[in-house]
Amino acid sequence: MYKKFVLAPVLVVLVAMVALASVFVYYPLTINVQPQAPSVVFKEGSNANQSDIRGNTITVEIGANGTSASVTIHPTYQENYYKNVTIIKNVDDNAMNVYIIFTSVTNNLPSDSNITMIIYQDYSIIKSLDIINSDWNKPINVGSMNSGAVWEIDFYVYIPEGKSISGASYRVNAKLVYTPSSETPPSNPGSGR
């Protein structure tokens, strides 16, 4: 008799699970994606594509919509300063919070070298970022960029004398992130985190 009382509730649960397993409920969902012109854009600085040392050029390539930039500079030993290489401009009617995320690096520079990105507005430093010793894959808050603001991007490079620079190079990939929100952006937007 005891076995019948224990077995009955188990059978009821199993029958309910089988019955529920074949029920599907569908709710409508509409997702609208309406692309807009960018709010913050890259532009060439006053020294973009100007002469660098040893016959080279300070190369600045801006994407067709101003939403990407590639910079190539050719420093030598000791201290090198590249002024107003590229700029970013807020063309939106709202202020934007700006972040930089350094995502990957290839570093073949001599040890003790330094690369710093310095961001200015009207001769005042907004942020100075030590690129070589930066936090990787983490949003770094640069600051709040007012509507119509233009920020100049300069680079400082130090390479210690007496070390070989034969075959030396440095390449860093980064993302410029802007948002009207005060919330910190995701580090990896493809995964949502």
* Residue-wise pLDDT tens digits, 106-124: 999 999 999 999 999 999 9
**27 within domain boundaries:** no
Phi, psi (rounded to 5 degrees) for 42: -85, 145
CATH number (domain holding residue 114): 2.60.40
- Residue 144 located in a structural domain: yes
C-beta of residue 60 within 8 angstroms of C-beta of residue 85: yes
**Predicted TM-score of the model (pTM):** 0.84
Does any domain span residue 146?
yes
Do β-strands 96-107 and 140-145 pair in parallel, antiparallel, or remain unpaired?
antiparallel
Residue 13, domain member (yes or no):
no
**Residue 56 included in any domain:** yes
Mean pLDDT of 49-78: 97
Q: What is the mean pLDDT of residues 140-158?
A: 98
Rounded Cα distance between 78 and 95, Å, is 38
Q: 15 lies in a domain?
A: no
- The whole-number average pLDDT for the span 169-179 is 96
CA-nearest of 192, 117, 145 to 41 is 145
Distance CA(160)–CA(75), nearest Å, equals 11
Which residues span the domain enclosing 95?
40-179
Number of domains in the chain: 1
3-state SS assignment for residue 10: helix
Q: Is 95 exposed, middle or buried (0-12, 13-18, 19+ CB in 10 A)?
A: middle
Residue 95 lies in a domain: yes
First vs last C-alpha separation in the chain: 57
Any domain includes 30: no
Identify the pLDDT of residue 183: 93
By C-alpha distance, which of 132, 71, 137, 78 is closest to 106? 132
